Amino acid sequence: MAELDRKQDRAPVPSSWEYAPAPEARDLVQLRDRYGLFIGGDWLEPKETYETIDPSTEDPLAKVGQSTPEEVNLAVGAARDAFENGWSTISPSERAKYLFRIARILQERAREFAVLESLDGGKPIRESRDVDLPLAAAHFFYYAGWADKLEYAFPNRKPRPLGVAGQIIPWNFPLLMLAWKIAPALAAGNTVVLKPAETTPLSALHFCDVLRQAELPPGVVNIVTGDGRAGAELVKHPGVDKIAFTGSTEVGKAIQRELAGTDKRLTLELGGKAANVIFDDAALDQAVEGIVNGIYFNQGHVCCAGSRLLVQESIYEPAIEKLKRRLGTLRVGDPLDKNTDVGAINSRQQLDRITELVASGEEEGADIYQPPCRLPEKGYWFVPTVFTNVAQSYRIAQEEIFGPVLSVLTFRTPDEAVEKANNTPYGLAAGVWTEKGSRILAMAQKLRAGVIWANTYNRFDPASPFGGYKESGFGREGGRHGLGPYVELE
């Protein structure tokens, strides 16, 4: 026994349990130096280009096209030709076949696409691998299933495709947002011109290889890259029948103004400031996991992020203590490391916005907490942050930060929770944590949000419709509802 004690004395005692690096293989992706625009099934050499970078290192990844009005026009023309010369008239089960193929190829190439998504956007590989890719493939599978059953989606009506859909997506879930847009449009018989976000075009460009592999007829899907100017061209193009936009409320409003008085159809999936409501009877450890998942998942670059935590006063102290302890265990760093929980902020511009809003929170009088955390020297990073002592009027409680920043408020009664949760111009999502089923149902009735999660958060399924109220937009994506915006009903 004495010997054993001596041995233990001599053994080196680690100060903390460090994780060994577990990098995913970057060479799973073969990047090209330069990408064209994908128009009519071919790569078109762009007139102007810009560079997309890896936000975790600021290293350039590739040159991509900044689409000009002429190039957007070519893409819309190709989509129109494809619509009239085949896609809208082939049998629905044929259309389903292509969607199934796309889904299967995405599954086969999932590892490659996950790396690509993390490289170009900064999100942890664990999320790209376990969330973005499986869900993107699932969306194509799901809408493949609807393609030849549209009359069951709209009983006693005759659904007809609209024509050419112009689709504009943000940078937080590049491939997944592409899937949310393209799958229902194609299933309903439309053709597409899609503009990915300026900072994350690469997965959409590699997706064009998937389309070729699936032998999708040329022109059914066209990809035009570039910044907001390319999006604006698409919005105002007279050859586009429908605009589907996911992005900020500000740009959404501008698009709505642009389309007022035209007969173009429009759906808007915009920002949010979701409340995650924790009652005193909730399973607290699970709720803390839900809070962390709600706001630090994907660096908080999530439209439905649970960015306002509403805690019942009686459990405020243990809840905050557990939350702070949990925050200290989050690993921030290399997006391609399989152990990383929080990756890089998507762009310098987004980092500046988060920094500015966090400074406003401190100035207005909230208490800031950030766990000790060593950030990489290059790239864009932000430490997971919690604000307590937040008043409802503070900017951090009102405005969408779109970063890893949580604002904590308290409540005493369910009515007060509802009032505070609904005190926002947005209405995209909410979370409720309680052991009482009746309370979940009562809260769900009163919360003005498109999606309400109970004892979980940030769960997605292609069969479940997603969308907002108020300034979070209108229209639903996912489920049978997601087909509605892509059909004319006779």
CB atoms within 10 A of CB 282: 22
Taking the C-alpha atoms of residue 125 and residue 55, their distance in angstroms, rounded to an integer, is 14
Asked if residue 172 binds ligand NAP (CB under 6 A), the reply is yes
Of 163 and 174, nearer to Mg ion (C-beta) is 174
Residue 99 interaction partner, one of ligand NAP, Mg ion, none, beta carbon < 5-8 Å per kind: none
Write out the two tokens for 114.
């996950």
Taking the C-alpha atoms of residue 93 and residue 157, their distance in angstroms, rounded to an integer, is 19
In the sheet that 42-44 helps form, which strands lie side by side, from edge to edge?
A: 42-44, 37-39, 221-223, 191-195, 164-168, 242-246, 265-269, 473-474
Smallest distance, ligand NAP to C-beta of residue 317, A: 32
Smallest distance, ligand NAP to C-beta of residue 227, A: 3
Smallest distance, ligand NAP to C-beta of residue 197, A: 4
User: If 0-12 CB within 10 Å is exposed, 13-18 middle and 19+ buried, where does residue 48 land?
Assistant: exposed
Stretch that binds ligand NAP, among 67-75, 170-178, 364-372, 403-411 (CB under 6 A): 170-178
Asked if residue 132 binds ligand NAP (CB under 6 A), the reply is no
Applying the rule CB under 6 A, the residues between 396 and 435 that interact with ligand NAP are 400, 402, 428
Residue 428 interaction partner, one of Mg ion, ligand NAP, none, beta carbon < 5-8 Å per kind: ligand NAP
Stretch that binds Mg ion, among 117-125, 364-372, 400-408, 472-480 (CB under 5 A): 117-125
188 closest CA partner among 474, 481, 463: 481
Which amino acid, residue 304? C
**Catalytic residue check, 208:** no
Stretch that binds ligand NAP, among 16-24, 86-94, 145-153, 162-170 (CB under 6 A): 162-170
Taking the C-alpha atoms of residue 20 and residue 426, their distance in angstroms, rounded to an integer, is 42
Of 120 and 233, nearer to Mg ion (C-beta) is 120
Cβ atoms of residues 481 and 451 within 8 Å: no
Give 287's contacts (C-beta < 8 A, 6+ positions apart). 278, 319, 433, 455
**Catalytic residue check, 303:** yes
Stretch that binds Mg ion, among 68-76, 135-143, 195-203, 268-276 (CB under 5 A): 195-203
For ligand NAP, the binding residue among 65, 121, 166, 231 (CB under 6 A) is: 231
User: If 0-12 CB within 10 Å is exposed, 13-18 middle and 19+ buried, where does residue 389 land?
Assistant: middle
Asked if residue 168 binds ligand NAP (CB under 6 A), the reply is yes
Give the number of residues in contact with ligand NAP, rule: CB under 6 A: 29
User: If 0-12 CB within 10 Å is exposed, 13-18 middle and 19+ buried, where does residue 148 land?
Assistant: middle
Smallest distance, ligand NAP to C-beta of residue 273, A: 9
Which amino acid, residue 175? L
Angle in degrees, CA 80, 85, 86, rounded to 5: 110
Taking the C-alpha atoms of residue 179 and residue 107, their distance in angstroms, rounded to an integer, is 13
Catalytic residue among 24, 127, 233, 269: 269
Asked if residue 297 binds ligand NAP (CB under 6 A), the reply is no
Smallest distance, ligand NAP to C-beta of residue 231, A: 2
For Mg ion, the binding residue among 52, 191, 225, 276 (CB under 5 A) is: 52
Give 377's contacts (C-beta < 8 A, 6+ positions apart). none
Residue 410 interaction partner, one of Mg ion, ligand NAP, none, beta carbon < 5-8 Å per kind: none
For Mg ion, the binding residue among 128, 190, 191, 199 (CB under 5 A) is: 199
Of 159 and 228, nearer to ligand NAP (C-beta) is 228
Asked if residue 135 binds ligand NAP (CB under 6 A), the reply is no
Q: Where are the alpha helices (DSSP H) in 166-315?
A: 174-187, 202-213, 228-236, 249-259, 284-296
Partners of 466 in the beta sheet?
477
- Binding to Mg ion by CB under 5 A, coded x per residue (else -) over 120-159, reads x---------------------------------------
Stretch that binds Mg ion, among 1-9, 51-59, 257-265, 463-471 (CB under 5 A): 51-59
Asked if residue 290 binds ligand NAP (CB under 6 A), the reply is no
Residue 402 interaction partner, one of ligand NAP, Mg ion, none, beta carbon < 5-8 Å per kind: ligand NAP
Which amino acid, residue 76? V
244 closest CA partner among 270, 207, 224, 263: 270
Taking the C-alpha atoms of residue 122 and residue 126, their distance in angstroms, rounded to an integer, is 12
In a 13 Å sphere around the CA of 189, the CA atoms on its Cβ side amount to 20
CB atoms within 10 A of CB 340: 25
Of 87 and 402, nearer to ligand NAP (C-beta) is 402
Catalytic residue among 127, 198, 233, 303: 303
Taking the C-alpha atoms of residue 279 and residue 207, their distance in angstroms, rounded to an integer, is 44
Asked if residue 195 binds ligand NAP (CB under 6 A), the reply is yes
- Residues noted as catalytic: 269, 303
Residues making contact with ligand NAP (CB under 6 A): 168-172, 195, 197-198, 227-228, 231-232, 235, 246-248, 251, 254-255, 269-272, 303, 400, 402, 428, 468, 473
Residues making contact with Mg ion (CB under 5 A): 52, 120, 199
